[in-house]
Chain A
C-alpha cells in the first residue's frame, strides 16, 4: 500500500513514517503543501495522511484539489485541531477520516489500513486462498496451519497479489504499489522478492508467472 504522509514537523514525520513502514506500507514523506502536490502529481497513493496546518499551501487546500480532481486516494486528516467543528469542517471538505493529535499509533495504523481497503474494490479484512490465510491487520500469513515468516516486502507483495483476486499483476505495478519512491526501477528487486516468497510459500505453488504479463495467484 502506498501512503503519502504530509507533515511539517520533521521529527514527527520521520517517526510516523518509520512506524508505518514497519507495518508493511510504502511511505513517502512531504514536509509542506507544495511538496505534497508535487508528490501527488507523480504517483497515485492509496492513502494520504494529511496534517491540516501546513506552511505555504494549507492542508485544506490539498484536500480540496484532490477532491476536485477526483483522485482515487483516500484522505486521512491528522491534526491538532480536534474540536467537533474542526472535525465536521475537515470531513465536509472531502476527507475520508479524521484523527486528532495526539493519537494512538495503533489507531492510526488501523485507520490507514481501513482506508487502504476501501481504495478500489472492497476486499475482506482477511484474505483466504485455498489453505493460505493472510491477516493484514496482524501481519500474519498462515499456510496449512503453519505460520510463515515473511519479510515486510514479501508480505506486502503477497497481500497485493491476493487482493488482485486472480488478475495478472505486472512487475511494474508491483513496484509502483508496494515499493516507495526510493525504489530503484532498474533493479531486479521484484523478481528476487517473488522468488523468495515462492520459496517460503512452499508446495503446491501458488504464484503463477504469466509470460510477458506478470504474476498471478
Chain B
C-alpha cells in the first residue's frame, strides 16, 4: 500500500512536469508564429515555423506580402491547433498509462509483500502463540539466507535459551518439593506407625517424638536454605566494605569445636582481603564452604583456608581432604540439591543446597566460583571477589 501510494504520487508529479514542459514549448511555438507574422513586414526575412519536427519556410517574395502574412497566421493557428490536440492526446494517454501502472504497482506490491514478508508473519504468529507449554517448538524457517531468515534463526535461539531456563526452573521446583516433602512423609510415617501399635510403651512413644523433633529441625534448615538461595539470586541489598579475612576468622572460631570433635587439622593463612558486599551473605558463603569442607572430609583429615589479594581480586580458598571426586562431578556440585556420590537425600546431613547458595551469593557480588577436585582426594573451592 505504502509503495503504491508513493508510486502514484511520483507518477502524477512526472505527468505534471511533462505536461508543463510540453505546454511551455507549445507556447513558444505560438509566440514564435506570431513573431514570425510580425516580422513579415521585413523583406528578405525567412520565416521558419517549426512544429512536430518539420519546418515550414515562407519568404515574402515567393508569396506576396499579404498572402505571406495570412499564410503565416494560418500556419501559426494550425501549429497551435496541432499542438493543442497533441497536448490533449498526451494528457489522455499519460493519465491512462499512469492509471494502469498504479493498478499494476498495487498488484505486484501485494504479491511481493505476501511472498517476501511471509516469514515476518510466521514470526509474529509464533510469538503470539508462545507460552510455557510450547517452548520446545522452533520456527525453522527455510528460504534464502537473508535478513529475515537471520531474524527467524535468532528467534529460534531465543526460544532455546528460554526453554532451557524454564526447564532448569522446573527442575529446581521439583527438587525443592521433593526435599520438603520427604521429611514430612517421614514424620507422618513415624507418628502413624508408632500410634498404630496398641502395645506402644512410653519409651517408644518418647523415642518417636524425639525423632520427629530432629526431623523438624532439618526441615527448618532446608527451608532457611531455600529462602537464602532465593534471596541471594535476587541480588544484594546492602553493600558495604568488609574484610574477607575478618569474616573467615569469625566463622572459623565458631567451628573450632566441631573441627576438634572430628579430629580434623586446620591450616590457615588469612592475609588482608578487603572487598565490598553484604556482610550477612558473605558470612553465609564462608560458613557453607567451611561446613562442606568439614562434613565431607576423611577421618583425621585436614582443612586449609587462605584469604588474600591477588591482583585486582580478593580471594578466599577452602580446601579439604576426602574422597576422590571426578572432574565432571565437581562441575555439577554447585547445582541445587546435587551431592557427590550416588546418595541424594537422607544420607548424612546437609540438604545439598550449600554450594548452590555459595554460587548464588558469589554471582550477586560479581565474584567467580571455582570448584576444583584435588588429585589426592577432596575439593578446593576458590571464590574471587573484586578487591576494594
A residues bordering B, Cβ < 8 Å?
8-12, 15-16, 18-19, 22, 32, 53, 55-56, 80-81, 101-106
Contacts and interface: CB of A to CB of B under 8 A. Distances in A.
B182 A80 contact: yes
Given A11-B346, A81-B174, A102 B196 contact: no
B177 interface: yes
Give the dominant DSSP class at B's interface.
helix
B189 A16 contact: yes
Interface in B181-206: 181-182, 184-186, 188-190, 192-193, 196-197
A9 to B, nearest CB: 4
B186 A9 contact: yes
24 contacts: A8-B346, A8-B347, A9-B345, A9-B346, A12-B185, A12-B189, A15-B190, A16-B189, A16-B193, A18-B193, A19-B189, A22-B197, A53-B178, A55-B343, A80-B177, A80-B178, A81-B174, A81-B177, A81-B178, A101-B184, A102-B185, A104-B188, A104-B192, A105-B193
Contacts of A8: 343-347
Nearest to A86: B174
Interface in B272-319: none
A12 B196 contact: no
Interface of B: 174, 177-178, 181-182, 184-186, 188-190, 192-193, 196-197, 211, 342-347
A101 B343 contact: no
A204 B163 CA distance: 73
3 shortest A-B CB distances, which residue pairs?
A9-B346, A105-B192, A19-B193
A101 B345 CA distance: 15
A131 to B, nearest CB: 27
A178 B181 CA distance: 33
Contacts of A106: 192, 196
A53 B182 CA distance: 11
B346 A12 contact: yes
Counting chain B CB atoms within 10 Å of each CB, which of A18, A53, A102, A106 scores highest?
Answer: A102
B188 A105 contact: yes
Contacts of A53: 178, 344
Nearest to B342: A55
A12 B342 contact: no
Contact of A102 (B181, B211, B343): B181
B344 A102 contact: no
Contacts of A22: 193, 196-197
Contacts of A56: 342
Counting chain A CB atoms within 10 Å of each CB, which of B185, B190, B344 scores highest?
Answer: B185
B232 to A, nearest CB: 25
Counting chain A CB atoms within 10 Å of each CB, which of B184, B190, B347 scores highest?
Answer: B190
Contacts of A102: 181, 184-185, 188
Contacts of A101: 181-182, 184-185
B323 to A, nearest CB: 16
Contacts of B197: 22
Nearest to A105: B192
Contacts of B182: 9, 12, 80, 101
Given A8-B343, A12-B186, A55-B342, A80 B181 contact: yes
Contacts of A32: 342
Counting chain A CB atoms within 10 Å of each CB, which of B184, B193, B343, B347 scores highest?
Answer: B193
B356 to A, nearest CB: 18
A15 B189 contact: yes
A188 B142 CA distance: 78
A3 to B, nearest CB: 15
Contacts of B185: 12, 80, 101-103
Contacts of B211: 11
A50 B344 CA distance: 16
Nearest to A7: B346
Contact of A19 (B192, B342, B344): B192
